Every structure is written in C-alpha cells, then in structure tokens.
C-alpha cells in the first residue's frame, strides 16, 4: 500500500517516548510515512511535524486542568478542523485520553480511522470511559496483557503489543556503567529522587521529597542523592532543593532518567509511568503522590483498585510502599526509603519479581503495533 499519512497526539513526556517508539515501527514498515500533530522531542527526532508541542497538554488533575481548560479546548478544536480538512489515513491518540478520546470520536464520526495507543486505565478507575472508548476508536493498542480481554467483553477491538519500555530497558541494567557516567562510585549508596515530569507534580512533590532527603542525609550522611530533571523544569527543581536546605546536597542532572535509575539503589518516585520504568530497572522504590485536595477526593471516589502504582497493580499486591496525600510526609518517605536500604534480602526478592514482570511485558512492540495499524488501514 501507499505510504500512509498518520496524525498523532502525545500529551506529555511519557506519551512522547511511547509515540517515538511507535513511529520506529511505522517508519520501518512505511519509510515514506508522514506523521504530524502534537508531539515532543522524541517524535520530532523521528521527523514528526509538530503543530503544537506536547507540553501544552501536560496538565494533571481536575482542578489543574480547569486553569488551562480554554487553551486546551481551543487547541483541540483547531487540530480537529485541520485534520478534518487534511483527512489523514489514520489518527493515533497516544495516551492523554481526556484530550484524545473526544477528538477521536469526532474524527471517527467523520470517517477517519482511529486508534488509541495505551488503553485508558478503566480497570483502575473511571470505568465509565469504556463506552466513550467504544464510540471513539476502531482499535486499541494495549500495553498490558489483561486489557485485551477486558475490552473484548465490551465489544472493543484490541491488540496486546507489549510495553515498549520493556524492550528499551535491558533485562540486566549496567549499574557500573551508569554510575561511571554520573560520576558515582561503585560502593556509593545512591537514592534517586523523581518528583515527576509535570510542573504541577514538582510543585506538590519536590519540596517534600527534598525534605525527606534531608532527613535521610541526617540518618546516613554518606547517602548520595541524584535527581533527573525534565530540562524545562530543572530551575523549578533546583529552587525546591534550595527551599528544603538541600542545595549542593543533591546532584541534579538534565534528563538522563534511565541512567539515574540504572545507577541507584532505591528511588523515591512520583506515581506514574516512571514507576514502571523503575520496576523494569529492577529498582526498589517508594511511590508517593500529592495533589490538589479536591482533585484527590474526586479521583479517590472513582478508584477501583487498592493500588495506584503500576508495579503494584501489575503484581496485584503492595510489593512497594505507596504514600499518598497527607501520608506522604517527609518523615514517612524518609523512613520507607531507609527500610529498603536496611533490607538487602527484600530488595533481592523484589528484583526477582520485577525480572518476571519484565519478561511478561517484553514483546516486539514496534512490529506488533505496525501490524495492527496496517490491519486497520486495510479494513
């Protein structure tokens, strides 16, 4: 078939990474493929035509979205009109379901084929989205194996393509090389601090993470702390470290989150895709989240499972601690991280669980996704 024209929207750093990996498979299948829409640096690196940058959509939470609502809706409407005029062969929404599902619904109604990459987490919360998914998309590309059957029960076509990160992250990460890259010693005790990739996350989490680091430093002065910051938000992270009295006590690097995860012993981490990355790097973690009080109350009422962290959801157990909202105090965060460092046998057992999880998620995602997209285009 003729090389297709593909429109895509990825709404934040993790979506940009997933979309970049998807583009690898599509471009291998169709070297002349044209791709355009909303994306980030990973997509642009692969020749994606960026009409708007993905960070325009990187807002989390009901209350936070309200502040940016008019701008986001205006972007979606402009994009919708442009796509209805241009009529790509397929639209692929990458995550960002609040933005993408409404857009996909309009495009599908107009006869444009639609796919969604990453099943919205209807198995965790907001089950009412199932009906919207059915109306909006021709096919869902699932990154977790149990999702295909769940969607099939509701008449939604889906394909399990594995999790792309399971192919990117090695089964046995090279800790020594990562430490050398970051200027760390082989025998250092290293705690990675990841307060999130969104401005709102850093505003709510970074200062308490650094306050926890100060308590850990007091308990074990030899601990080294390293923070991979999204380049555009590095100054905000640095100010949070300074406010917690940790300026000069933590090593803040631009990007390099995978190198940092490979190098560390334990990570203190914001709930989100990064927790799965940490699991694939076989690293023990303490998951935390804090957000606007009203947003948290709304989300808690819609929650279907006792876990929020992806490693716990996939293992169906609290294999790593979760400290949310008021429970995410510097004292509790510090104690939870130090408990990991004091229990090497528990760390080893967790690493075995994460290795099994890694193998389950490892598939030729780029090829399987391209196969599914080709079937949709031919349908």
Q: Number of structural domains, the chain?
A: 2
pLDDT of residue 289: 82
Shared-domain flag, residues 235 and 245: yes
Quick one: what percent of the chain has pLDDT higher than 90? Answer: 67
Rounded to the nearest integer, the mean pLDDT of the chain is 90
- Residue with more model confidence, 330 or 62: 330
Shared-domain flag, residues 201 and 251: yes
Instruction: For residue 67, tell me if it sits in a domain.
Output: yes
- What backbone torsions phi and psi does residue 215 show, to the nearest 5 degrees? -65, -40
Integer Cα distance of 241 and 239 in angstroms: 5
* Residue 15 confidence (pLDDT) above 70: yes
Integer Cα distance of 332 and 194 in angstroms: 16
* Structural tokens at position 4: 């297709």
Write the pLDDT tens digit of every residue in 333-353. Answer: 999 999 999 999 999 999 999
Shared-domain flag, residues 218 and 321: yes
Instruction: For residue 293, tell me if it sits in a domain.
Output: yes
pLDDT of residue 62: 43
Write the pLDDT tens digit of every residue in 101-141. Answer: 999 999 999 999 999 999 987 665 567 788 999 999 999 99
Q: Across residues 66-93, what is the average pLDDT?
A: 90
Q: The domain spanning residue 47 has which CATH number?
A: 3.40.50.2000
Q: In a 10 Å sphere around its CB, with 0-12 CB exposed, 13-18 middle and 19+ buried, how is residue 85 labelled?
A: exposed
Shared-domain flag, residues 119 and 40: yes
Query: What pairing do the DSSP bridges indicate for beta strands 285-289 and 266-270?
Result: parallel
Integer Cα distance of 368 and 253 in angstroms: 35
* DSSP structure string for 164-176: HHHHHS-SS--HH
pLDDT of residue 122: 67
Shared-domain flag, residues 247 and 215: yes
Instruction: For residue 239, tell me if it sits in a domain.
Output: yes
Instruction: For residue 169, tell me if it sits in a domain.
Output: no
pLDDT of residue 81: 97
Instruction: For residue 170, tell me if it sits in a domain.
Output: no
Integer Cα distance of 319 and 145 in angstroms: 20
Q: Across residues 195-206, what is the average pLDDT?
A: 83
Give whichever of 63-67, 222-226, 247-251, 321-325 has the largest mean pLDDT.
Answer: 222-226
Shared-domain flag, residues 88 and 196: no
Write the pLDDT tens digit of every residue in 143-168. Answer: 988 889 889 999 999 999 999 889 88
Instruction: For residue 326, tell me if it sits in a domain.
Output: yes
pLDDT of residue 2: 85
Shared-domain flag, residues 340 and 196: yes
Integer Cα distance of 178 and 9 in angstroms: 32
Confidence label for 197 from pLDDT (cuts 50, 70 and 90): confident
Instruction: For residue 147, tell me if it sits in a domain.
Output: yes
Write the pLDDT tens digit of every residue in 254-303. Answer: 989 999 999 999 999 998 889 999 999 999 999 998 755 666 555 565 55
Shared-domain flag, residues 59 and 158: yes
Shared-domain flag, residues 51 and 200: no
Of the chain, the end-to-end C-alpha distance in Å amounts to 13
Shared-domain flag, residues 125 and 186: no
Going by C-alpha positions, the residue among 219, 218, 201, 365 that lies closest to residue 270 is 201
Q: Across residues 350-367, what is the average pLDDT?
A: 95
Q: Which of 51-60, 172-181, 213-222, 298-307 has the lowest mean pLDDT?
A: 298-307
Whether 83 and 122 have beta carbons less than 8 Å apart is answered as no
Burial string for 169-192 (b: 16+ CB within 10 Å, else e) reads: beeebebeebbeebebeeebbbbb
Instruction: For residue 167, tell me if it sits in a domain.
Output: no
Shared-domain flag, residues 89 and 232: no
Range of the domain at 266: 175-361
Shared-domain flag, residues 354 and 369: no
């Amino acid at each position: 078939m003729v090389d297709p024209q593909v429109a895509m929207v990825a709404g934040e750093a993790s979506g940009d990474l997933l979309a970049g990996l998807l583009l690898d498979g599509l471009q291998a299948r169709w070297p002349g493929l044209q791709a355009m829409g909303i994306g980030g640096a990973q997509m642009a690196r692969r020749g994606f035509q960026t009409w708007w940058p993905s960070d325009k959509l990187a807002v989390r939470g009901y209350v936070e979205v309200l502040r940016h609502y008019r701008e986001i809706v205006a972007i979606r409407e402009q994009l919708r009109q442009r796509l209805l005029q241009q009529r790509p062969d397929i639209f692929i929404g990458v995550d960002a379901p609040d933005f993408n599902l409404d857009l996909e619904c309009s495009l599908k109604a107009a006869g444009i084929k639609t796919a969604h990459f990453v099943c919205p987490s209807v198995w965790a919360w907001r089950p009412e989205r199932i009906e919207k998914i059915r109306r909006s998309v021709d096919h869902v590309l699932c990154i977790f194996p149990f999702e295909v059957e769940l969607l099939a029960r509701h008449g939604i076509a889906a394909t399990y393509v594995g999790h792309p990160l399971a192919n990117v992250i090695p089964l046995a990460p090279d800790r020594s090389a990562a430490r050398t890259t970051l200027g760390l010693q082989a025998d250092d005790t290293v705690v990675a601090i990841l307060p999130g990739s969104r401005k709102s996350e850093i505003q709510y989490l970074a200062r308490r993470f650094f306050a926890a680091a100060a308590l850990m430093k007091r308990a074990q002065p030899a601990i080294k702390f390293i923070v991979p910051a999204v380049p555009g938000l590095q100054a905000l992270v640095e100010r949070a470290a300074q406010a917690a009295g940790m300026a000069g006590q933590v090593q803040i690097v631009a990007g390099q989150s995978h190198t940092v995860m490979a190098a560390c012993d334990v990570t203190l981490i914001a709930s989100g895709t990064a927790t799965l990355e940490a699991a694939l790097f076989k690293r023990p973690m303490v998951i935390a989240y804090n957000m606007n009080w009203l947003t948290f109350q709304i989300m808690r009422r819609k929650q279907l499972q006792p876990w929020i962290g992806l490693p716990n959801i996939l293992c169906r157990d609290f294999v790593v601690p979760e400290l949310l909202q008021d429970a995410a105090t510097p004292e509790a965060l510090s104690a939870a991280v130090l408990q990991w460092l004091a229990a090497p046998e528990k760390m080893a057992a967790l690493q075995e669980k994460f290795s099994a999880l890694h193998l389950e998620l490892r598939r030729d995602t780029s090829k399987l996704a391209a196969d599914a997209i080709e079937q949709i285009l031919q349908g």
